[in-house]
Amino acid sequence: MELVRRSLSNFLNIGERSLQLYQLQKGEYMECDRSPTFPILPATKIIEFLDNCKTLGITSSLRQFREWVRNQ
């Protein structure tokens, strides 16, 4: 686990109705509201997308998500 931990600069943890994003800073993982990899994508939008996949289906959810990205 320690070897993997050193190689990840950021990761996410998805729970039942929550999502936490973490970024490695000074050797410790700190929670953040946006992924350093995808800074335009807030955690709330990821949760919204996952919820939409359950209710609208993947295809419709991806269409809506792509439209949101285009408008950013």
DSSP codes joined into one string, 13-62: EE-SS-EEEEEEETTEEEEESB-SSSTT-BHHHHHHHHHHHHHH-HHHHH
Q: List, for residues 6-36, the tens digit of each pLDDT value.
A: 455 666 666 666 778 888 888 888 888 887 7
Range of the domain at 31: 2-70
Site of tokens 């990761």: 11
Task: Give this prediction's pTM.
Answer: 0.64
Amino acid at 61: S
Structural domain total, the chain: 1
Question: What values do phi and psi take at 25, rounded to 5?
Answer: -135, 120
